[in-house]
Amino acid sequence: MATTQTMTPSMKRERRANLRRNAFYLALIVIGLVAPFVAYPVFLMKVLCFALFACAFNLLLGYAGLLSFGHAAFLATGGYVTGYLLSSYPALTPELGILSGTAAAVALGAVFGALSIRRQGIYFAMVTLALAQLMFFFYIQAPFTGGEDGLHGVPRGELFGIISLRNSLVMYYFVFAIFLFGFALIQRTVHSPFGQVLKAIRENEPRAVSLGYNVDAYKLVAFILSAGLAGLAGSTKTLVFQLASLTDAHWHMSGEVILMTLLGGVGTLFGPVVGAGLVVSLQHLLAQSPLGNWVGPILGAIFVLCVLSFRSGIVGEAIKMYRKNFK
C-alpha cells in the first residue's frame, strides 16, 4: 500500500522536520528526567499536573476552536473521585484510582459536551461555566468531598501494588510518565485523521458540513478527550498533594487554565506547558515574597500585557520569529 505513495517536496521537508522534532523531544525528555535532581520534585509535579491540564484545555480551544469556561469541573471531578476511592478503599492501587478519576471526568465530559456543543462562541462558554458552577455547588454539599475542608491525607499507596510512591522522586517519575502519555495523546490527536477533520471544521465549518461531516460529533469527541485529560491531571494532582479541595472546582481554576494557555500560546503544542510553568512558578515565587497578597493582580497585569502585546503567546511568538528568520 505504501509503495504507491507520491513523494512531494513538502513531504520530504516534513520528514526532515520530523527528525528535528524527534531530537527536540528527546532533549526535553532528558531534561524532564534530570529535573528532579536540580529542582524541588513536588514543585515540578505541580507544574506537570497544571501543564497537562492546560494542554487538555488547549486541545479544545486551540484545535477545535471551542472556549470552555468550565474546565475546573473536570479537574475537580478527577481529583475527588480518585481521592475518595483511594481514601475509602485502601486495597485500591493508585493507578486504578487515577483511571477511575479519569473515567469519571470522561463521563462528565460526555454529558457536558452533549449539552453545550451546539452552542457557538460566547454561548458555549456560558453554558460550560453554568454547568461547572453546578458541579461546584454539588461538591460543596456532597458528603464524599469533605465540603469546605476537602479530602486530606489521600494515601499514595503502591503503584501496581509493588512500588511505593511515598518517595517524592519515585512519585515524580510516575507523574512524568503520565504527563508524557497525555502529551503524546494530544500530539497524536492533532496529527491524526481526526485532527485533520477538526482542523477543517475550525477553518471553515460550513464547508466541512458540505463535505458530509457531522461537525457536532467531531466537536463532541474533542470535548470528551479534553475533559478526560483534564480529569487525568486532576487525579494525578490529588495523588501528588494527597489532597482534593474546592479550589480545583472553583471558576477561578477555569480562568487560570485560560490564562496559562493564552500566555504560553494557544494552538501550539508546547504553549500550555510553558504557560503553566510560568504561572505556577510565579505563584510559587510570589507566595514566598512580601508581594504574597498580590498574586492575583500581578497575574492579571501579565495577562493584560500578553493580550495587548503578544497575542499568540510566548511559544506562538517564538514560532513566528523562528519562521521569519530561518525560512
Partner 1 sequence: MTQEFILETRGLTKQFRGFTAVDDVNLQVREGHVHALIGPNGAGKTTVFNLLTKFLPPTRGEILYRGRPITGMKANEIARLGLVRSFQISAVFAHMTALENVRVALQRPIGTSFHFWKSERSLEHLNERAVELLDEVGLRDYADVLTVEMPYGRKRALEVATTLAMDPTLMLLDEPTQGMGAEDVDRIVELIRRVAQGRTVLMVEHNLSVVSRLCDRITVLARGAVLAEGDYETVSADPRVREAYMGSEAAAEEASA
Interface with partner 1 by CB under 8 A: which residues? 1-2, 4-6, 8-11, 185, 188-189, 191-197, 199-200, 203-204, 206-215, 217-218, 221, 225
CB of 225 to partner 1, least distance (A): 7
Nearer to partner 1, 157 or 316 (CB): 316
Kindly tell me which of 143 and 193 has the beta carbon lying closer to partner 1.
Answer: 193
Beta bridge partners of 159: 163
How far apart are CB 18 and partner 1 at their closest, in Å? 10
**Shortest distance in whole angstroms from residue 231 CB to partner 1:** 17
By C-alpha distance, which of 48, 108, 93, 81 is closest to 233?
A: 48
Q: How far is the CB of 141 from partner 1 (least distance, A)?
A: 36
Torsion of CA 102, 103, 106, 110, to 10 degrees: -160
Rounded CA separation 120/66 (Å):
8
Nearest distance in Å: CB 156, partner 1: 30
Nearer to partner 1 by Cβ, of 210 and 309: the residue is 210
| Alpha carbon distance 138, 140 (integer Å) | 5
- Nearest-CA neighbor of 145 among 248, 72, 244? 244
- CA gap 152, 136 in Å, rounded: 18
Task: Select from 327, 318, 325 the least CA-distant residue to 24.
Answer: 318
Q: Is 11 or 30 the residue whose CB approaches partner 1 more closely?
A: 11
For residue 296, what are the contacts with CB-CB under 8 A and spacing of at least 6? none
Residue 118 vs 152, nearer CB to partner 1: 118
Whole-angstrom Cα distance, residue 190 to residue 221? 13
Considering the complex, state which of residue 126 and residue 200 has its C-beta at the smaller distance from partner 1.
200
Class of residue 119 by CB neighbours under 10 A (exposed 0-12, middle 13-18, buried 19+): middle
310, amino acid identity:
F
Compute the least distance from the CB of residue 129 to partner 1, in Å.
26
CB of 5 to partner 1, least distance (A): 5
| 218 grid coordinates | 467531531
Q: Which is nearer to partner 1, 219 or 237 (CB)?
A: 219
